[in-house]
Structure 1
Amino acid sequence: MKYSKEFKEEALKLSDEIGVKKAAQQLGIQYYTLSDWRSKRNADAKAKKFQMTDDEAKLRITELERKNAELRKANDILKDALGFFAKDRKK
């Protein structure tokens, strides 16, 4: 059976309020149908959470490149310090 978008939205709201099992019983639909709708809604929301515009992506890349450069410098300093202390221990 095909359900309208509005019906699905209202069914999801009801299931959020009273639970999937009770909502399915009240609406006369199968539990697994409503459960599938909830799973799809949650997956869609999760996918949207990770989407960003081109400008946001460019800004994030620039930020990560800067952070990467900082970490490389810190790593080089630590390597130099390790070399300095290793030489000092050999004496």
Structure 2
Amino acid sequence: MRVYDKDFREEAIKLSYEIGPTKASEQLGIPITTLYTWRGKVKKHGAIAFVGSGHPRLDPKTAEMRALEKKIRELESANDILKKALAFFAESQKK
């Protein structure tokens, strides 16, 4: 099985819309079924159709939610550190 990179797939799809899928598959030396599969993925998933190996396909809202959740965890961690520092300095002021 041959592996095609993302750029090749995107260019092949563009070419297939310009000159037709049959001519594009012949010109590029790829099976027409492969080309139709790629076109279907682009139709279904849009810009996130071809993700790298091992990377989940996330819609933009899901990706944004994950980024915001990560930011929340970081801020909560920073707040915990500040609370501990405040307690330490408050204890030292009592002495």
TM-score normalised by L of structure 1: 0.49
TM-score normalised by L of structure 2: 0.47
Q: Greater Rg, structure 1 or structure 2? A: 1
Between Structure 1 and Structure 2, the one with more helix by share is: 1
